[in-house]
Chain A
Amino acid sequence: MRYVIAGYVFVLFVLALYSVQLIWRRRRLARAADLAAGAVISSNGATGAVTSDPAGEVVS
């Protein structure tokens, strides 16, 4: 039975670890994109620059 447990633990652990890594990567990139868009806003002032709002939606 220890081989069975080892097999399940390995597969589930790897899939869980990869899932967490995916979420972390996406969050990091989304923050970087929002930060960049924020820089565009600040450099444009109130001139109607295209960027994203805090929820990540496109605004103009």
Chain B
Amino acid sequence: MTDDPSTTAVTDVSGPAPMAHPPAGPVTNTGVSPVPARSPRSKLVERSIGTIALVGTVATVWLGIWVTPPDRIQGDLVRLVYIHPGVAWVALYLAFGLAAVSSLLYLWPRTRSLFWDRLAAAAVEVGVVFSACTLVSGSIWGKPTWGVWWAWDARLTLTAVLLVLFLGYLALRQIPAEPEVRARRSAFVALFAAIDVPLVHFSVNWWNTLHQGATVLNPGLKLKIHGSMALTLLLGFVALTLVFVWMLLVRYRIGVLEDWLAANELDLALIERQSEGGGPVDGGPVGMGAIDELSTDRVVVA
């Protein structure tokens, strides 16, 4: 997170804004800000988290499929417990919870910063992937236990609604707007969507549902499984949490680079035009070649 342009040490780039009728030839000063840098330490942290997450996930799969015993009632199907609640934990509580908190911090005047907006966007995108995994892995578990792939059960339906709401959040962010406008409207939508998170959590307590009650996050916080099964479940939670953190770091960096390219698109196009000896640039199409294609959603490296 050290690569936020607002916090990165920036060399003085102040100078006159690009002129409406710039002279041809070399440009001696530009309004282009430096590319946000990443420190070696942040790269090391990211790689370390990624490595530990990978090892933890492999260990969870090995323990879950080959080491832990089958359940007395569910048989081998219980092995899905080592992965399904883990992805649900990441999607509901970590990703969408973080998105809600970040959005709140963006809307709060004292903490308003595009950092929170980028963090919320990164958390939602990763959360949507985990949320889809939750629904599909739950459906795969539901078929042999309930006899159907899908039931309009309270928890399943509310989880599906949550996924649709956050897909809407991601769609909203694609609408062209100033960064501040986009951040504000996205934050409101994230907070609205996050109302569904506690509904999903308490749905198994409030209504009669097919879905079983909480195994870990139950009202008394009493773990209802034992021994190697509990250890593997815990390891799965930790490993998937680290997977989430790694994905969040990478996705946040993508947001930083996207914003940098979008913010400097016009200046870069003007520079390219000037370096080509072009004439007046106001009012007409600007930029050619590689830089002409620099935008947040379509980048072509020539």
Q: Which of chain B's residues has its CB closest to A33's CB?
A: B35
Bound complex: CA of A25 vs CA of B129, how far in Å? 16
User: Of B84, B129, B246, B253, which is within 8 A of A26 by CB?
Assistant: B253
B116 within 8 A of A: no
Report B-chain residues with C-beta under 8 Å of the C-beta of A4.
65, 76-77, 79-80
Contact between B291 and A36, CB atoms less than 8 A apart: yes
User: Of A12, A32, A47, which is within 8 A of B57 by CB?
Assistant: A12
Complex interface residues of chain B between 134 and 193 (CB less than 8 A to chain A): 136-137, 140-141, 143-144
Contact between B133 and A14, CB atoms less than 8 A apart: yes
Contact between A58 and B9, CB atoms less than 8 A apart: yes
Report A-chain residues with C-beta under 8 Å of the C-beta of B261.
29, 32-33, 36
Contact between A42 and B80, CB atoms less than 8 A apart: no
With contacts A10-B140, A44-B27 taken as known, whether A39 is within 8 angstroms of B35 at the C-beta atoms is no
Contact between A11 and B250, CB atoms less than 8 A apart: no
Bound complex: CA of A44 vs CA of B26, how far in Å? 5
Complex interface residues of chain B between 201 and 240 (CB less than 8 A to chain A): none
Q: Which of chain B's residues has its CB closest to A36's CB?
A: B268
The smallest beta-carbon distance between A24 and chain B, in angstroms, is: 10
Contact between B8 and A58, CB atoms less than 8 A apart: yes
User: Of B11, B57, B257, which is within 8 A of A30 by CB?
Assistant: B257
Contact between A3 and B11, CB atoms less than 8 A apart: no
The smallest beta-carbon distance between B199 and chain A, in angstroms, is: 24
Q: Which of chain B's residues has its CB closest to A17's CB?
A: B129
Bound complex: CA of A58 vs CA of B84, how far in Å? 43
Report A-chain residues with C-beta under 8 Å of the C-beta of B136.
10-11
Contact between B294 and A36, CB atoms less than 8 A apart: yes
Report A-chain residues with C-beta under 8 Å of the C-beta of B35.
33-34, 36-37, 51-52, 56, 58
User: Of A23, A35, A47, A57, which is within 8 A of B301 by CB?
Assistant: A35
With contacts A47-B26, A50-B33 taken as known, whether A28 is within 8 angstroms of B299 at the C-beta atoms is yes
Report A-chain residues with C-beta under 8 Å of the C-beta of B132.
14
With contacts A10-B136, A32-B299, A35-B301 taken as known, whether A58 is within 8 angstroms of B34 at the C-beta atoms is yes
Closest 4 CB pairs of A and B: A52-B35, A60-B11, A29-B257, A43-B275
Q: Give me 25 A-to-B residue pairs in the complex whose CB atoms sit less than 8 angstroms apart, sorted by A's number.
A: A7-B83, A7-B84, A8-B61, A8-B65, A8-B80, A11-B87, A11-B133, A12-B57, A14-B129, A25-B254, A26-B250, A32-B299, A33-B261, A34-B35, A35-B290, A39-B272, A39-B290, A40-B271, A42-B275, A43-B27, A43-B30, A44-B27, A50-B13, A51-B32, A58-B35
Binding site for A on B (CB under 8 A): 8-13, 26-30, 32-35, 37-38, 57, 61, 64-65, 76-77, 79-80, 83-84, 87, 126, 129, 132-133, 136-137, 140-141, 143-144, 243, 246-247, 250-251, 253-254, 257-258, 260-261, 264, 268, 271-272, 274-275, 290-291, 294, 299, 301-302
